[in-house]
Amino acid sequence: MKSAIAIRYVHFEDLGTFEQPLRQAGFDVHYIEAADGKLDEAKCLAADILFSLGGPIGAYEDDAYPMLKPILAMLERRIAADLPTVGICLGAQLLSRALGAHVYPGAGKEIGWSPIRLTEFGAASPLRNFGSTPVLHWHGDTFDLPHGGTLLASTERYANQAFSFGHKVLGLQFHPEVTARGLERWFIGHACEIAATSGIDVPSLRAQSTRFASELEAASQKFLVEWLGQCGIGGIEGAQDVDGRVMRR
């Protein structure tokens, strides 16, 4: 059986809508809890696909969170081996850092639902499934585009919302994986951050989630099917390839 590993930094930020299509594609899905500090690098490198998920810490806070260093080292090895790897939010920032780019606090929080603006390469990639669908943003940090990376998407506030490196490494600053039900746990877990951020509150975030989450779920599953097929590790009928130049170094 194919294996999918997700490194999880807080328990409520999980694979969400990605988990079902992964299981349908024949993957054994396993979570590694980053906070345990017991990263099994060999297992991570052996996985057919690895996800590094989101969380409320900085990708540069090694002193406060020493478990980041072995995760970064493992990501560097997966990248060097050209193994399918996806980073979401914090995970994308860690991928960027593993590729030698700078990660740093941004110019304010970006929290809520809004569309991404696809580049030419993004529009020709599996991200095209998000072309007309608002996605969830929930971050305050940002990163520089890694050398050799391909920019796939931006927003008005933050230029680097998605990038690829090679054929099989993908960083997504936004959250394609969330569900309306799962976000209820976010609203509790991130209550202090919500209260400290002007212009947002739980009722408005919930209303946006009710409006957009089901559309995002459908787009996300189509995206994942295509991306798995592109990496040669698919298994769901309907997976498609896209123009190889999009994910090429």
Q: What is the pLDDT of residues 136-191, one digit of tens each?
A: 999 999 999 999 999 999 999 999 999 999 989 999 999 999 999 999 999 999 99
* Residue 7 banded pLDDT, cuts 50, 70, 90: very high
Question: CA-CA distance, 122 to 159, in Å (whole number)?
Answer: 13
Q: Which residues make Cβ contacts (< 8 Å) with residue 120, sequence separation at least 6? A: none
Whether 127 has a pLDDT exceeding 50, the answer reads yes
- Name the residue among 40, 36, 94, 92 with its Cα closest to residue 62: 94
Whether 130 has a pLDDT exceeding 60, the answer reads yes
Q: Which residues make Cβ contacts (< 8 Å) with residue 245, sequence separation at least 6? A: 121, 124
Q: Tell me if residue 11 falls in helix, strand or coil.
A: coil
Stretch 190-203: mean pLDDT: 97
Looking up tokens 């941004």 gives 106
Residue 247 has what pLDDT?
A: 32
Q: Considering the chain, what is the average pLDDT of its residues?
A: 93
Residue 117 has what pLDDT?
A: 97
Give domain limits for the chain: 2-247
Whether 237 has a pLDDT exceeding 80, the answer reads no
User: Which three-class secondary structure string do you get for 12-80?
Assistant: CCCCHHHHHHHHHCCEEEEEEEHHHCCCCHHHHHHCCEEEECCCCCCCCCCCCCCCHHHHHHHHHHHHH
Does domain 2-247 correspond to CATH entry 3.40.50.880? yes
Enumerate the β-bridge partners of residue 112. Answer: 137
Tens of pLDDT, residue by residue over 65-87, are 999 999 999 999 999 999 999 99
Torsion sign (Cα): 161, 80, 77, 20: positive
Residue 234 has what pLDDT?
A: 75
* Residue 116 banded pLDDT, cuts 50, 70, 90: very high
Residue 249 has what pLDDT?
A: 22
Residue 240 has what pLDDT?
A: 37
CB 225 within 8 A of CB 238: yes
CB 22 within 8 A of CB 4: yes
At residue 74's C-alpha, the angle toward residues 32 and 30, to 5°, is 20
Whether 118 has a pLDDT exceeding 60, the answer reads yes
Q: Tell me if residue 94 falls in helix, strand or coil.
A: helix
Question: What DSSP string describes 131-161?
Answer: TTS-EEEEEEEEEPPPTT-EEEEE-SS-S-S
Between 14 and 247, the more confident residue is 14
Residue 170 has what pLDDT?
A: 98
* Residue 236 banded pLDDT, cuts 50, 70, 90: low
- Name the residue among 41, 49, 90 with its Cα closest to residue 233: 49
Tens of pLDDT, residue by residue over 94-113, are 999 999 999 999 999 999 99
User: Which three-class secondary structure string do you get for 172-206?
Assistant: ECCECCCCHHHHHHHHHHCHHHHHHCCCCCHHHHH
**pTM confidence score:** 0.93
* Residue 238 banded pLDDT, cuts 50, 70, 90: very low
